[in-house]
Structure 1
Amino acid sequence: MQINIFFGPKEEFQKLIPKNKEIKRLHDLIYEIDKKQRTHIHITNGEKEEFIEKEYVECLVSYTEDYSSASSNFLENAISILLSAYNIENIYFQNPPQTIKELLERQNDFQVEIIKHQYPNVSLQKVKSIKNTFHKHIIGQEKAKNHILSTVFPLTKKKYEKPVVMMFFGPAGVGKTETAKFLSNKFYNQVEFRKQFSMFQTEDFANYLFGEKINGASLARDLLNRSSNVILLDEFDKAPAVFHSAFYQMFDEGVLVDKHYVADISKAIIICTSNYKSREEIKKSLGEALYSRFDHFIEFELISKEAQQKLIEKSYLKMIQLFSKKEKEVIERYGVFKSIIDRAGQFNNVREIERETQKLMCSVLIKDIYKKKRVKTFLRIV
């Protein structure tokens, strides 16, 4: 039997699975074990003889999410249960809990191969590309761009193994999250790994961070399954202070260990976003121990009037594409673009610009419809 243990994203794991073999999923076998009785009793010379009839399985595959379908007791005894019930030729397990990994590795009679997905390197060429195109995607944050590129630059060196850890801080809606998305796309051509910390209550956050249940959700398990090496911890300021110590090893060594999983995040780009107003406020909130583990604190500033003009133009051109040819004519006739551009400098963030542009476009369209209705009513009366 060949045992293959893969750590990495699903799309890469699927490339390892043979195309010409009959596949059985772990949860299918769990269901069969629960539903079928495979023990038969025979009488030989007046004595009972018990034997197990094993079913042949050409290829057993388990994805990250499959472990959630099993009970904790089953997972802790999974290998012995499976091997007692089935004759398995090949095993492919993606991101198994440490318990299962260790059980598989102890199968001395079988060949075990550990495969770890290697994320693309941060190349100097990509850094240059980001430097030249950043202003087209993230408007009004040139200072932030320079700080970001100088922080990620060490990752272009082969011997550098640590993750780089940055705190993006400043007002809401000025490009912090969009910058993380942009970096992930440029460096890895993938959607960033993102967790919104404001979505967790204290108890939920503890269970997720420390992986309380072997078959439950956990940050380490989700990180093993990530497609991108840009890790966005959004609204990091909402993480309860009591859990700050859980990030020490993650930020220092690029490893996150919980009760059941071990996630390797070496050479990752970790971005924590927050609405803090200053580095002093960050230090006071996070404490010296966690504060000192960040490589850089990068401020995203309020958007200048000139930058707002560019954002208004970009937003207008994007939104007008939603409307029909006649609707576009109405929007242009009412001078929506001029009305919005004249207000440049009055907005606080990108969201306000997009919201006001859309609202004004829809407002003039409704006004035009009502005007036409009044004309038609007047003609009918006449």
Structure 2
Amino acid sequence: MNENHKRKYFIFIGSKSYFDKKLDDLSVENSGYSFRQLIMYQDVAQKNELEFDRKEEVLILSNDNYQSLVGAAIERLGTIIEEFTYENSEIYIHNPPRYLYEYLKKLHKRDLIELIVKNEVYSIVKDENNFNVKIDSILQRIIGQNKAVNEISKSLWYLTKINTKKPYVVMFYGKSSIGKTELVREIAKEFFDNTFFEKHLSMFKNIQSFDYLFGAELNRRSLGYDLLERESNLIFLDEFDKCESSFYSAFYTLFDNEIFKDANYDVNMSGTLIILTANYNSLEDMKKHLGLPIFYRIDKFIKFEDFESSTIYAIVKKEISSRKKELGSLLDEELIYSKVSMLVNTQGENARTIKSKVQGVIEELLFENYMNSEDVDH
């Protein structure tokens, strides 16, 4: 326990794994009641008009603990912590909401508490010596979009060399299923330790989505809450063209500022790479549908071209090859290709249509083998 006669607050801002690791590093254990248990027992005591005077020498508040609070209790969070602790207790807090953080900073300014704040550090993997190796690896796995890969390479090199304050926002656009999402995943694999924060904006259609983006009651998740918990500085917002225009103002703040604010949280977004995807065919089409306020907040636009015949061929071969382990000796790859090649067009195909046609041929051939074996048996 803290030997000074001041409460000692440790604030850790970052992912759940970061918070857990910091507690492990400091050998912190919540040997008594958890904050959630204390709240529950206090509520029971109040309902039964009983006294509850439990205090802890060490108190740990995970960020999901705030979701157990409702109404006026949220505004009293700082004093509730004091009710559950001694004057020299140690309190470990994960991603405090703005109200609590400001309350603690005021106490610290008056020298009434000790306050230690640690932030998780996010960054692109700045391995300059192997940058070309990483890009070449991506080029081998993303078929038919060399121009797009080359363009994002310039942005990745820029982020490797420069420490940016506000987010760097890139739009991948073009037809569906031609490699946009796949490229995001490859960037994550090579430059962000295979982690990224992902949201599918086609799901954002109702009042719950509005509350999520802008923040509402503290006992409900929000974009700010989730961004604080992220494990990477790569943010992937998929199907941006499907998002309701009434939600765009939330992205004005996200794209434009070092600190993103919702109703309850402040999130440091410096150095983030935000990649949007959309199925627009041109920049003019994008301007028309998104509107200029959002359009001009995007730093870079990268077009994904329709597949050429050679690309379609390569994707067909890759898809068939990827099924080798699944099929074993049941079917010959060349036989599958000979059947699929009669179904696949030389243009207008995408990864999804190719995958569907390969799947259809495999099912057909397997069923033919079964029927032929049945004929032999009879």
The answer, yes or no, to whether TM exceeds 0.5 is yes
Partners of 1:34 and 1:231 in 2: CA distance: 39
| 3-state secondary structure, aligned to 1:338 | helix
Q: In the alignment, does 2:251 pair up with 1:247?
A: yes
How many pairs were matched up? 363
Output the amino acid matched with 1:5.
Answer: I
Partners of 1:64 and 1:348 in 2: CA distance: 46
1:71 Cα deviation after fit:
1.3
1:158 Cα deviation after fit:
4.4
Provide Cα deviations, 1:170-204, integer angstroms capped at 9, x if missing partner: 11111111111111221121332111111121322
Q: TM (normalized to structure 2)?
A: 0.88
Provide Cα deviations, 1:297-353, integer angstroms capped at 9, x if missing partner: 111111222122222222112222123x4xx33x11881123224536256211122
Q: Which runs of 5+ in 1 are unaligned?
A: 42-51
Q: Which moved more, 1:286-295 or 1:275-284?
A: 286-295
* 2:142 and 2:183 in contact (8 A); partners too: yes
The answer for the alignment partner of 1:206 in structure 2 is 210
Partners of 1:244 and 1:34 in 2: CA distance: 40
1:373 Cα deviation after fit:
1.8
Q: 1:86 to 1:158 in 2, by over 3 A?
A: same
Partners of 1:75 and 1:367 in 2: CA distance: 65
Alignment of 1:145-224 (within 5 A): 145-224=149-228
The answer for the alignment partner of 2:65 in structure 1 is 66
* 2:11 and 2:95 in contact (8 A); partners too: yes
* 2:38 and 2:84 in contact (8 A); partners too: no
Q: Percent identity?
A: 29
Q: Which moved more, 1:192-201 or 1:100-109?
A: 100-109
Partners of 1:158 and 1:239 in 2: CA distance: 31
Provide Cα deviations, 1:248-268, integer angstroms capped at 9, x if missing partner: 232122322111111111111
1:360 Cα deviation after fit:
1.4
Q: 1:346 to 1:370 in 2, by over 3 A?
A: farther
Q: In the alignment, does 2:44 pair up with 1:35?
A: yes
* 2:42 and 2:52 in contact (8 A); partners too: no
Provide Cα deviations, 1:18-64, integer angstroms capped at 9, x if missing partner: 435335533222222222469999xxxxxxxxxx7743424322223
* 1:72 and 1:215 in contact (8 A); partners too: no
Provide Cα deviations, 1:61-92, integer angstroms capped at 9, x if missing partner: 22232222221422221221232233372222
Output the amino acid matched with 1:63.
Answer: S
Q: 1:190 to 1:31 in 2, by over 3 A?
A: farther
The answer for the alignment partner of 2:94 in structure 1 is 94
Partners of 1:233 and 1:314 in 2: CA distance: 27
| 3-state secondary structure, aligned to 1:92 | strand
Q: 1:90 to 1:296 in 2, by over 3 A?
A: same
| 3-state secondary structure, aligned to 2:12 | strand
Q: Which has the larger radius of gyration?
A: 1
The answer for the alignment partner of 1:110 in structure 2 is 113
Q: In the alignment, does 2:317 pair up with 1:318?
A: no
Give the CA RMSD over aligned residues: 2.5
| 3-state secondary structure, aligned to 2:17 | helix
2:238 to 228, 234, 239: 234
Q: 1:20 to 1:222 in 2, by over 3 A?
A: closer
* 1:167 and 1:294 in contact (8 A); partners too: yes
| 3-state secondary structure, aligned to 2:117 | strand
The answer for the alignment partner of 1:336 in structure 2 is 336
Partners of 1:359 and 1:292 in 2: CA distance: 44
Q: In the alignment, does 2:19 pair up with 1:19?
A: no
Q: Which moved more, 1:280-289 or 1:238-247?
A: 238-247
1:271 Cα deviation after fit:
0.6
Partners of 1:152 and 1:133 in 2: CA distance: 14
| 3-state secondary structure, aligned to 2:297 | coil
Q: Which runs of 5+ in 2 are unaligned?
A: 1-6
Partners of 1:294 and 1:86 in 2: CA distance: 47
Partners of 2:78 and 2:341 in 1: CA distance: 66
Q: 1:283 to 1:20 in 2, by over 3 A?
A: closer
The answer for the alignment partner of 2:358 in structure 1 is 357
Q: 1:243 to 1:38 in 2, by over 3 A?
A: closer
Partners of 2:46 and 2:220 in 1: CA distance: 28
Partners of 1:34 and 1:125 in 2: CA distance: 59
